[in-house]
Structure 1
């Protein structure tokens, strides 16, 4: 019997955990698997081991594991596959396949544009859009976020767009925002985060302080959240994994 295991990152806050679970469960309503479970890489329960155990206890003979992560970095490349290898050794009779994060996908630009236009009625003559990723030491994260920014710029009539990061990568959000205080009337900050949480709260604080100092129009967009576009991308990743059967 086939099982689908959606692996979310996890959150330090109960609200963040519930948002992730709700997102995964809404997506799973559109997926025809006899067994469907949600688990978390870290910080939240159930962890991957418990998620796999639940699938096995329900009679799974194969498990399709999909990381519910925006970009491909160490979590997707090393941490989750490493844990799945441990589970494979625990349950050698189970066939495991492992999919990709959302990654770079053409349709995501439409969601970003929606978040931008929800927050900003119009652009000023000197406007800057900052696409802000969580960040990672993995160079693929910088490359992929830049590709997503390029797709957004190519698909819509937008002002200048720059990418930056909250942690573990350069340029940093605070540095780029500070530099944007020179010469831009309007800065639209687009958090490339699935859900609101501690990171988004920190961004709000930085933006409020700079707006007070510079008098600029600084606009913070909403996190991506549950959206039909992301649901469609996730369904695509699941379908790809079913067809390719990339065994861990």
Structure 2
């Protein structure tokens, strides 16, 4: 039986944990005959290095090819002889989800977790450009979400929406609701299209490996 190991970041949020498990259950329902399991790179167990044995394909439930994909997942996959699919983002599917969720507003703030990786930042900038929005981060020392929202308020924007570029509930997501915006979109993983995207990542990689 072909196997898929979905690897999430991990969170202490019970709601976020449930959302990721539900996402993986939906993926399993879309891939009959494939063994689908879940592991994490941080916070939760099992960790990817412990769960990757006898795995054919790894699909990172992450939004960019940052440290966790390159190092945590990459090294574990290399040791186990598994192949790794691209992360979920950036992808037009995610942009479409965010666009569908946006109500009428004066300004959009694309809120992401934050990273010092230039490639990661460029990817987030590209997503924001697709939405006509402004990038802000839920962590770090610059372009923090509350600061960006406050700046937009001072510039005269009356209805501001934070488009959450986050997969599941957790510390970063909850902080967005205290940033002063009028609305925050739901975590991405709650949209059925994300399960379809995981399935596509898996199928594209298995077809490429088989030479089809």
Give the alignment's TM-score, normalised by structure 1: 0.76
Matches within 5 A, 1:83-232: 83-86=76-79, 88=80, 95-117=81-103, 122-123=104-105, 127-153=106-132, 161-168=133-140, 170-182=142-154, 183-207=156-180, 218-232=182-196
Q: Quote the offset at 1:170 in angstroms.
A: 3.9
Q: Partner of 1:205: helix, strand, or coil? A: coil
Q: Partner of 1:65: helix, strand, or coil? A: strand
Q: 1:235 to 1:112 in 2, by over 3 A?
A: same
Q: Quote the offset at 1:79 in angstroms.
A: 1.9
Contact 1:115/1:224 (<8 A) preserved: no
User: Runs of at least 4 residues of structure 1 off by over 3 A?
Assistant: none
Give the alignment's TM-score, normalised by structure 2: 0.88
Q: Quote the offset at 1:128 in angstroms.
A: 1.1
Q: Quote the offset at 1:71 in angstroms.
A: 2.0
Q: Partner of 1:235: helix, strand, or coil? A: helix
Contact 1:133/1:166 (<8 A) preserved: yes
Q: Find the counterpart in structure 1 of residue 66 from structure 2.
A: 73
